Amino acid sequence: MELCDTTARQLAEWLATRRCSAREVVAAHLERIERANGACNAIVTLCPETALAAAARLDETIVRQGPVGPLHGLPIAHKDLVETRGVRTTFGSLLCRDVVPARDHLIVERIRAAGAVMVGKTNTPEFGMGSQTHNRLFGATRNPYDLDRTAGGSSGGAAAALATGMIPIADGSDMGGSLRNPASFCNVVGLRPSPGRIPDLPTTWAFFDLSVMGPMARTVDDVALLLSVMAGPDPRAPTALSEPGRVFDRDLRRDVGGVRVAFGEDLGLPFEPEVLTVFRDQRQVLERLGCSVAEDEPDLDGADRIFRVLRGWQVAASLGPLVGAEDERVAPMVRENIAYGRTVTAADLAWAEGQRSRLVARVGAFFARHEFLVLPVSQVLPFSADTPWVRAIEGVAMADYLDWMRSCFWLSPLALPVAAVPAGFSATGLPVGIQIVGRPRDELGVLQLARAFEEATGAGRRRPQLP
């Protein structure tokens, strides 16, 4: 098996036992990037010289004192919303095309300290807005399973890079589905963890919890490996969960016989038929695993407006000072989001917080009956990379660019861990994923069921043809 096509855990073992060197691993992935990135446009800033130099230092270190950490020698590319010291961080915007941070984000520090090697930055829509990765600075990221289609977003560059073997692990972020949607579209795994599981530092929004950082990889085991490094408390993060990340670096195999799983369907939303066809087949997979499966869905009344109000307020407060109302360097969608956020009143915020409390209580009662909830990830198959957003689903018009993502963003206010896992393919070979939603702060349980499901289906092993 080529170095670029094996799992991160297998690579980590080979590196730790010196079966291969960090230089060999990094060089192989740089060659894969040279081969595949031109078609997909997943990695937008590349750092080959510094990556090879870092790999050489790791090879020297392992001889003297052993592996630096659990990610020793593994290549990674960070999402272009994440600050990287000395490497440009553009946020996908012409406004920030020349920004070179003087500091690293906390996850970059942790991942580097664990021995990973940064090879570059992955593409994202402007300021992470939208679940279609395209911007005027770098263009669109294309789906490796069909280059005419989108890779999703906003972690679309990360998902496409993983699917093509350009990197074995990647970080992403998720407010309304930005880890889950691209994972589904590109047949990889993405985990939206509980708020506070991975501290977001530095930040001026320490108490805003709709947006979270999370790991992505080609397998559930590899997601858990990266989570074990990214997660853990920090004294500067007041809402950080206290468990150390190492609790996730473990054997995820679990007998899921008898586990109570609520098998949802459409939440009352329009879906493309092929998505539901693939999804419905997964009930039999869960039943064969021995799960106790019941058709049930939580009452998510109010989730739509709650999300829009809280998100709109935060977008306006964070980007408003940077973006002028007539600034043509910024996409109209960004300006429109800021304009909406400025209409949010104190009464709107009070309503959203109150309704969110009631929503979480209702869903908590639902999870007293079920350990997990399973739903489709996206309402549609990967669509044209030239289409900014889906305008209609099965004849139902979408009011705006958020509407087609409701199956994802309605879950965000619940503050629950959610994994997106490959489930199968449409008749035309396009990936479809499922969401596994767990109880509060039960990332471990979500990962365990996700691993059992992954092994039972084998869908994630179907990789795209490289250009």
In SS3 terms, 210-239 reads as: CCEEEEEECCHHHHHHHHHHHCCCCCCCCC
Strand ranges (E), 291-409: 292-295, 372-376, 392-393, 396-397
Catalytic-role residue among 155, 173, 178, 378: 178
Judge whether 121 counts as a catalytic residue. Answer: no
Helix (H, G, I), strand (E, B) or coil at 425: strand
**398 — phi, psi (to 5°)?**
-95, 125
Which residues make beta-bridge pairs with 418?
A: 192, 437
What pLDDT was estimated at residue 1? 55
Q: Of 307, 389, 460, 325, give the one whose Cα is nearest residue 132.
A: 389
Cα–Cα distance for residue pair 81/62, rounded to 1 Å? 32
Judge whether 131 counts as a catalytic residue. Answer: no
Q: Give, as one character, the DSSP assignment of residue 384.
A: B
Q: Whole-prediction pTM value?
A: 0.98
- 130-158 burial, b for 16+ CB within 10 Å, e for fewer? bbbbbbebbebbbbbbbeebbbbbbbbbb
Q: Find out whether 121 and 45 touch, Cβ atoms under 8 Å.
A: yes
**213 — phi, psi (to 5°)?**
-90, 155
Catalytic-role residue among 154, 184, 407, 412: 154
Cα–Cα distance for residue pair 414/361, rounded to 1 Å? 9
Q: Of 178, 213, 221, 175, give the one whose Cα is nearest residue 197.
A: 213
H or E segment to which residue 185 belongs: helix 180-186
Tokens 């350009």 belong to which residue? 166
* Angle at alpha carbon of residue 159, lines to 157 and 163, rounded to 5°: 120
Residue 27 neighbours by CB distance under 10 Å: 17
H or E segment to which residue 78 belongs: strand 75-79
Class of domain 3-461: alpha beta
Per domain, the residue ranges of the chain are: 3-461
Give the dihedral of Cα atoms 329, 129, 332, 322; nearest 10 deg: -50
Tokens 């109209």 belong to which residue? 332
**Would you tell me the crossing angle of helices 156-163 and 22-40 to the nearest 10 degrees?**
120
Distance between terminal CA atoms of the chain?
A: 19
The two beta strands, 75-79 and 117-122, are parallel
Q: Find out whether 150 and 188 touch, Cβ atoms under 8 Å.
A: no
Cα–Cα distance for residue pair 28/48, rounded to 1 Å? 11
Q: What does each of the 467 residues of the chain score in pLDDT, given as a tens digit?
A: 599 999 999 999 999 999 999 999 999 999 999 999 999 999 999 999 999 999 999 999 999 999 999 999 999 999 999 999 999 999 999 999 999 999 999 999 999 999 999 999 999 999 999 899 999 999 999 999 999 999 999 999 999 999 999 999 999 999 999 999 999 999 999 999 999 999 999 999 999 999 999 999 999 999 999 999 999 999 999 999 999 999 999 999 999 999 999 999 899 999 999 999 999 999 999 999 999 999 999 999 999 999 999 999 999 999 999 987 678 899 999 999 999 999 999 999 999 999 999 999 999 999 999 999 999 999 999 999 999 999 999 999 999 999 999 999 999 999 999 999 999 999 999 999 999 999 999 999 999 999 999 999 999 999 999 87
Q: Give, as one character, the DSSP assignment of residue 465.
A: P
Q: Which two tokens stand for residue 260?
A: 């109570």
Instruction: Give residue 283's identity as a one-letter amino acid code.
Output: R
Cα–Cα distance for residue pair 225/247, rounded to 1 Å? 10
Cα–Cα distance for residue pair 88/352, rounded to 1 Å? 36
What pLDDT was estimated at residue 10? 98
> Sign of dihedral through CA atoms 403, 405, 410, 413?
negative
pLDDT tens-digit readout, 312-368: 999 999 999 998 767 889 999 999 999 999 999 999 999 999 999 999 999 999 999
What pLDDT was estimated at residue 326? 74
Q: Counting Cβ atoms within 10 Å, is residue 334 exposed (0-12), middle (13-18) or buried (19+)?
A: buried
Cα–Cα distance for residue pair 419/417, rounded to 1 Å? 7
H or E segment to which residue 317 belongs: helix 303-319
Q: Find out whether 453 and 21 touch, Cβ atoms under 8 Å.
A: no
Q: Of 288, 260, 279, 299, give the one whose Cα is nearest residue 439.
A: 260
**420 — phi, psi (to 5°)?**
-100, 125
What pLDDT was estimated at residue 327? 85
